[in-house]
Amino acid sequence: RQGSELSGWAMGRWTYEGIDLNHNFADLNTALWDAEDNDLVPHEFPNHYIPIPEYYTFANATVAPETRAVIDWMQRYPFVLSANLHGGELVVTYPFDMTRTYWKAQELTPTADDGVFRWLATVYATSNLAMASEERRLCHYDDFTRYGNIINGANWHTVPGSMNDFSYLHTNCFEITVELSCDKFPHASELPGEWENNRESLLLYMEQVHRGIKGVVRDGDTEQGIANAIISVDGINHDIRT
């Protein structure tokens, strides 16, 4: 990262190459929603593991090497739960981060797994000492305490090409964003306090991987496990894979 955000709110979000990593992942949302509008999902267009568009893979595409490295990492390891940590607010956001109505800056845009995402965000927010404090003051002008310190990302501000949306649509991974401090640049002396604020919430969040249904999909004849078997749940238009 370059620069200090103390000199301007947007400074520091950009890499040396001038790329904002927070908006740098492939936009898979638009392709999914266009296919849904044309009744192509899921028989002709997938509702999960959506392929990366060809333009995004070109050498001259505006994709940071850091972004490409993270995508390669995601594709190598079958992560199922993730969180990315930001600063500047006290709130937990969950997908979708991009508004479905492309010209709207804010719009409630839930995923097919909205209940799970709201649960994950709530687990973190209710156990975070700074968010849960009765003496808590607003960071800026948004009063997130009215919503339990969680919000649908797109309902706060639209972020096309976010890692959360990409994780959900390209892999099995459910990812949230934790805005864990009003101060983007806490002094070193404040870091032990920040750790205490987040320690229990990080542990409780990780424990959520044990919720839900677990098992192995096997071949009925050989009893061997089947890789990339698609698992569908009635009423949830988002499949996952073994």
Structural domains in the chain, sorted by start: 21-214 (3.40.630.10)
CA 6, distance to chain mean position in Å, is 26
Angle at 89 between CA 85 and CA 95, to 5 degrees: 55
pLDDT at 13: 74
Which residue numbers are catalytic?
A: 179
Q: What averages of pLDDT result for each successive group of 10 residues across the chain (242 residues)?
A: 48 81 95 97 95 93 95 95 95 98 96 98 97 92 94 97 98 97 92 97 97 92 96 96 94
pLDDT at 145: 94
pLDDT at 213: 87
Residues composing the chain = 242
Q: What pTM was computed for the model?
A: 0.92
Beta strands in the chain (DSSP E): 81-86, 89-94, 150-152, 174-181, 230-233, 236-241
